[in-house]
Amino acid sequence: MSERKDIASKEEKAVEKTRELISATPAVDIYENDDEILLHADMPGVVKENISINIDNGTLSLSAVRRFNNKGVSNWEEFSDVEYIRRFSIPQSIDIELVKAELKDGVLKLHLPKSDAAKPKMIEIKAA
């Protein structure tokens, strides 16, 4: 009977675990109007210091890392550190100098303004 107690008791040794960073693709919504392309990327738990946004040669690259500061020995884990990665092709008509980003409630909002040459123009017809 003492063997059964050994099976049910918790072992007191703390085993050091190495955590592998999981890659995830953030959910993204993209909207377009006459002035800009607006991109919303869902990256819960990410802080702005851990986000990287890069535009190079017509490719927009988003990456971010979410890390949890665990205190104590884990008994059960369903959340883990994760790296969000997503890439998009963007038109050359985006004015890269005016791109703005904001992070609120785990959603990254990226404003990609169109250059003046790419905006629709109304052509006036003159009577002859």
Ordered by where they begin, the domains of the chain are 20-117 (2.60.40.790)
Contact between 110 and 50 (Cβ < 8 Å): no
Compute and round to an integer the Cα radius of gyration of the chain. 24
- Give the pLDDT of residue 125: 83
- Give the pLDDT of residue 118: 64
d(CA 34, CA 26): 26
- Give the pLDDT of residue 68: 80
- Give the pLDDT of residue 69: 78
Q: CA angle, corner 25, sides to 97 and 86, nearest 5?
A: 25
d(CA 47, CA 44): 9
Q: Is the pTM above the cut of 0.75?
A: no
**Phi and psi for 99 in degrees, rounded to 5?**
-65, 135
- Give the pLDDT of residue 119: 67
- Give the pLDDT of residue 127: 85
- Give the pLDDT of residue 94: 92
- Give the pLDDT of residue 19: 61
Q: Which stretches of the chain drop beneath a pLDDT of 70?
A: 1-19, 118-119
- Give the pLDDT of residue 6: 46
d(CA 37, CA 97): 14
- Give the pLDDT of residue 51: 95
Placement of tokens 């063997």 in the chain:
3
- Give the pLDDT of residue 90: 93
What single-letter DSSP state applies at residue 4?
Answer: H
d(CA 17, CA 20): 10
